[in-house]
A and B are shown apart, each in its own frame.
Chain A
Amino acid sequence: MAISNVAGNPGEKTLLLGNEAIARGFIEGGLRVAASYPGTPASEILNTLINVGDKYGIYTEWSTNEKVAAEVAISTAISGLRSMVSMKGVGVNVASEPFQAFSYMGTVGGIVLVSADDVGMHSSHTEQDNRFFAREAYLPIFEPPGPMGAHQMAKAALDFSEKWGQPVMFRTTTRIGHSAADITLGPVQKTKEKGEFKRDPNRWVNLPVNARRMRRELIERMEKIGEEVESIPFNQIVAEGDGQFGVISCGVTFNVVREAFKDLGLGDKIGLMKIGTPYPLPKKMVQQFLASNERVLIVEEVEPFVETQVKSLAHEGSLSTQILGKEHIPLAGESGPREVVMGLSQFMGMEPPNRFERADRIWKEAQALIPPRPPVLCPGCGHRTAFFAINVVEKKLGLKKEGGIVKPSDIGCYTLGYQSPLNAVDTNYCMGSSIGASSGFSHVIDNKIVCTIGDSTFFHSGIPPLLNAVYNKADINVVVLDNSTTAMTGFQPHPGVGTTATGQDTKCILIEDVARACGADTVDVVGSLDLDGLVEALEKAVNTSGVSVVVARQPCVLLDVRTRLKKGEKIKKYQVDQELCTKCELCLNLFGCPAFRKIDDVIDVDLALCNGCAACANILVCPQEAFKEVD
């Protein structure tokens, strides 16, 4: 984004997205290697580092998954250089194992695991609070209050990790990563190009004999770190208050709490403590704050992570302070201005402000007027045609009567095949789950099974379950929806694209080759917009026992149209010939391209939205063949 200047000079003030601010903080901290797998809300961290990596001598890569990214970053740190590995919150599940082990070994160079937790589940399937993972793996946590704090903390986290020889978690949330603020750039610490691997098998080989020793060393290391966090500026008693009420706030809620104090006119009556390292907590500082307040409210999003620790500290210190938290602050969803003002007024025994009544009335009336607008597959998207073809085959082979085709799917744009009118996604658990789930179904139900998985997801975690399906004799059909990019997160490349993160040419690994190597019984490749070809391939697959793979390939329409327009090509659009249209609405009710519309009883195409895929010209979408190319 040319609007922000991540690579600007020290002292320059620029608009940075939270994720750009994190990236800049790492640059200022002398980062050498950055690895990631794309996932909202983390993607922009590596996107940013890729764009400016050359200037600062940073090696960047999109790894095939989060676990591999973690291993890449860990080797950098062991070689004495600084690294970061970023991922969406649920990605930490995938990266978990290497970090569990590496935490015992400790690090040489600074290393930060960025967990971008999706509080509010804007685009994730769980709201999991990865601070618990960090605690379990003994990773100190840095949790910033906003983009500005994130900028300062990212650098500090690298320094801290290197100083204490311990990997660190940097926990951010969607609200921070996707907020932008005016940020003043700091000086950049230059990184060395080459590290040094100092051979030390007693440390870098985690045989039980070494691990048992290292676990004891880890516990000692963490005790010292516990002392250190008493004096770092991210933990602070901000206001003493009058001794009656106090608030301990962690992470993104800090600024919201301050606004709520203003809103409720609390002024300096109430004490306030800010926590930037929820693990380990600055024990003495917390106990001091508890001792000087009669009642304390813990404000943090999602789980009571700080709250339970503070309660335990009160017990240890024999303090009688009343400690409240999740009684007043929600467990689910974000704690925004409203939730915090409501929680705080309950805690203080005050009347909440009444402006919410008006907003609630307006929202109630508004909802009656407007339809939901969920995200949908784009006009011209090849995934729509593929899902439509699966539905056509289900009908054509008379399978609907037998309970229909069971359609497990996976994580990516194509999960939107769930939406009406396609309704072609029956299950989805996690990355790569479509194929494993299908194997499981094939052993216990009689329905035909057709699962869908995207190209990037296939490389991420689709290969082991495909091998499993072949090995364990499953009878399934796998449609790989290959749009030759990681589309939903902003077009990152993967092993099937032929370019690296920085745009260098590399080997292009074809999904059909991998499928054959995995032992699939049949493998076909069809264009995703070739509706007749898709129907034919799917029909064959469904009628073949064993593991059938159909690769449905069509570049992501957004990228494709962009590239073609740049080359000066014209995009051919399609419009409804009103003479032929019988208003049967099958196009709207079965295919549902967002460019189709019906206004005043006329069905036509919004040409501003049409991307010219031509699928609507197929007789399967319109029996009248009323969609015609526009001159």
Chain B
Amino acid sequence: MAVDVKVVLAGVGGQGAVLAGYVLAASAIKEGLSVRTYGDMGMSRRGGSVSSFVNIFDKEGTSATAVGTADLLVGLEPIEAVRYCKYLKEDGIVVVNSYLILPSTVGKKDRAELSEVENLLEFLKKNFKKTIVFDANKIACEINSLTTNIVMLGAAFSTGKIPVSTETFKQTLRDSFAPEIAEMNIEAFERGYDECNRK
């Protein structure tokens, strides 16, 4: 069967959405597939909204993802998951970190109302076929707070939507990073995978 999978990663600048997108893309190349990615850079350092689009295919594809066409949305933060969910198909899957990061530019009158994570999760559940929610920050912080992105990729792999084997992905981590960093991320990946495999 032809491979044509579109993944959207969305998060807050500093969480590593773009880097995670690259590692995912590199792992797909290892399996002989083609990839096109597009990631935000430049004016989106710490604190801004950041996204990464990863399209994996075996014949033809583009880096541009139209609204309503993605198969999987990986939300590193719930507000950003909602911001980018328009790209997802109706029968697409959302994997979302429940840990909220409220923008510092939010004025005092909106602060309380916008802090309700449940509203955001309900919205995702209502609009898409399947929404998997878990606290990726809690898991990441037990390993290293910088591994949230890879915990989330572990969860994304557990949906079975990504046409790359977990072994190839772990090997890509080993090939791309220093041994201690790779091992830390492999642990993060496995923890995310196991946490959501049951959901």
Contacts and interface: CB of A to CB of B under 8 A. Distances in A.
Interface of A: 1-4, 13-15, 40-41, 43-44, 122-123, 146-147, 175, 178-182, 255-256, 258-259, 263, 336-338, 341, 355-356, 358-360, 362-363, 365-366, 369-379, 413, 419-421, 487-489, 558, 585, 588-589, 592-594, 596-601, 606, 608-609
A180 B48 contact: no
A181 B35 contact: yes
Nearest to B119: A369
B68 A359 contact: yes
6 contacts: A146-B63, A179-B36, A373-B83, A600-B115, A608-B137, A609-B14
A406 to B, nearest CB: 23
Nearest to A591: B104
A441 B78 CA distance: 45
Contacts of B60: 258
**Residue among A258, A375, A420, A598 facing the most chain B CB atoms (10 A cut-off):** A375
Contacts of B3: none
A599 B113 CA distance: 10
B103 A374 contact: yes
A95 to B, nearest CB: 20
Contact of B22 (A13, A15, A147, A606): A15
Q: What are the 3 closest A-B residue pairs judged by CB atoms, nearest first?
A: A40-B42, A375-B48, A123-B43
A4 B35 CA distance: 13
Contacts of B176: 2-3
Nearest to A182: B29
A450 B132 CA distance: 50
Contacts of B104: 376, 588, 592-594, 596
Nearest to A556: B45
Nearest to B137: A608
Interface residues of B, number: 66
Contacts of A43: 42
Contacts of A420: 105, 107
Contacts, number: 196
Given A15-B25, A362-B127, A379-B46, A256 B115 contact: no
Nearest to A593: B104
B56 to A, nearest CB: 10
Given A122-B43, A362-B85, A558-B46, A338 B110 contact: no
A373 B48 contact: yes
Contacts of B137: 608
Contacts of B177: 2
A585 B123 CA distance: 30
Nearest to A359: B67
A14 B29 contact: yes
B183 interface: no
A13 B33 CA distance: 11
A180 B37 contact: yes
Given A355-B68, A373-B12, A181 B36 contact: yes
A258 to B, nearest CB: 8
Nearest to A354: B68
> Among B42, B48, B90, B111, which residue has the most Cβ atoms of chain A within 10 A?
B42
B105 A15 contact: no
A14 B68 CA distance: 29
Given A373-B48, A375-B43, A375-B44, A358 B90 contact: yes
Contacts of B47: 373, 375-378, 594
B198 interface: no
Contacts of B14: 609
Query: Which of A373, A376, A487 has most B Cβ within 10 Å?
Result: A373
A180 B35 contact: yes
Contacts of A13: 29
Contacts of A356: 67-68
A323 B102 CA distance: 49
